[in-house]
Structure 1
């Protein structure tokens, strides 16, 4: 019998929008956790627990055949934030990924552009 995994123990989410991304994410884990997360009515997403370099990670994706796109990805991220309280988000002071953040916090005088 599989054990129930605790949402509170996971601190990193890997949101895999495409099925191939979920497969790649699972392949990168050092360990896949045996067990399952309890389901909640109205939440059809798939959460798979594992570890990478000692960090507990949840790979979040949706069932095969479900439509995905920007709106669906945003909905998945919102569910992850609601279900996994110890995964950092804006309230946890994660630095912005906006280019202005990096120019204001850069320690070097040049920024490399891949274009």
Structure 2
């Protein structure tokens, strides 16, 4: 017991692992903690992961990121998870949270800033409770920007005017570094027409379905559309397949681009 009468936490008290692959994901995740704890004091040999311990509500959480600041790729994520589980023996739930490339279709109106949650049999129970949290997520994000306004500059939802979904046949020139808004433009013949975002509810929408994982990002609209047609994929990412067989996680992705050759000019950090 400590001098306040509260039991001192041990590493066995942490039951949720929040896995981040990129440095900015790790630093933003820490801002969501209701309380940050000291430690960890004791990790397994050769465990060089970055750790932050804390609490959200009644849950003690370990936020973890790779030591080199870039866990993109299946093998990197698998190493991070192995070290996490070697140091924290009581982790029961994994959350793999980060950015991903959207796969919009006529069936799924996915926009920049939306959230995709993987739908797996192993996650159904957890998913049922998450389905009711849309409004709470919006409020939590809004509160975060009030608490840490410096984050608003880099992580706010993109303006609707910057959200352009180009036709599959329109590709961004490989040479040069010109912004997509300049070289690809806003010609209606190049864009897929979608309804005005004002018709949607305020804040990002949450989509539930299949997230495809590979070792490299998808940056080809024709490949994206083929997988949408064949598998009804909603999103692409580059970490989950490296750990799902050994440590099933609930995968959550914020959409930062459309898995094509075009870049999101307002969010330069969105690379996978």
Q: Which one of 59, 70, 74 corresponds to residue 70 of structure 1?
A: 74
Q: 9-18 vs 30-39, which deviates more?
A: 30-39
Contact 1:61–1:76 (CA under 8 A) maintained in structure 2: yes
1:85 maps to what in 2? 89
Contact 2:71–2:77 (CA under 8 A) maintained in structure 1: no
Q: Which one of 91, 94, 98 corresponds to residue 120 of structure 2?
A: 98
Distance 1:33 1:7 in 2: 11
Q: Tell me the secondary structure at the aligned position of residue 61 of structure 2.
A: strand
| Paired residues for 1:1-115 under 5 Å | 6-65=10-69, 68-88=72-92, 97-98=119-120
Unpaired runs of 5+ residues, structure 1, are 90-96, 107-111
Deviation at 1:69, TM superposition (A): 2.1
Unpaired runs of 5+ residues, structure 2, are 1-7, 94-118, 129-207, 210-232, 235-272
Q: Tell me the secondary structure at the aligned position of residue 32 of structure 1.
A: strand
Distance 1:79 1:45 in 2: 7
Distance 1:85 1:40 in 2: 11
Work out the number of aligned pairs and report it. Answer: 98
Distance 1:88 1:65 in 2: 25
TM-score, normalised to structure 1's length?
0.66
Q: Deviations over 1:27-49 (max 9, x none)?
A: 11101112333243311112211
Deviation at 1:87, TM superposition (A): 1.0
Distance 2:33 2:58 in 1: 10
RMSD: 3.3
Q: Tell me the secondary structure at the aligned position of residue 23 of structure 1.
A: helix
Distance 1:73 1:99 in 2: 22
Distance 2:26 2:38 in 1: 17
Distance 2:84 2:38 in 1: 20
Distance 2:35 2:13 in 1: 15
Q: Tell me the secondary structure at the aligned position of residue 62 of structure 2.
A: strand
Compare CA radii of gyration and give the structure with the larger one: 2
